[in-house]
Amino acid sequence: MTAEAAPLRTAPAGRTHDGRSIFDWSTDDPPLHARFRLEWRFRALRPPHSTKEAR
């Protein structure tokens, strides 16, 4: 059984350490037998803007 997707009640905290992004999340009062699944959607990096025109 899978529950419908829903936003977290509290936002994840993020920080950068040694060039890596680290995210933490916790909840103070989870329901009994609760399970949480976090899904990430990564955005593609944009190429640097070129000032030269393509020939």
Q: Can you tell me the distance from the alpha carbon of 5 to that of 8, in angstroms, rounded to the nearest whole number?
A: 10
Question: Around Cβ 26, how many Cβ atoms within 10 Å?
Answer: 8
Note the residue count of the chain: 55
Tell whether pTM > 0.75.
no
Structure tokens at 18: 């040694």
pLDDT digits (tens, 9 = 90+) for 16-51: 999 999 999 998 888 899 888 888 888 877 777 766
Confidence (pLDDT) at 52: 62
For residue 23, the cross-strand partners are 14
Confidence (pLDDT) at 1: 64
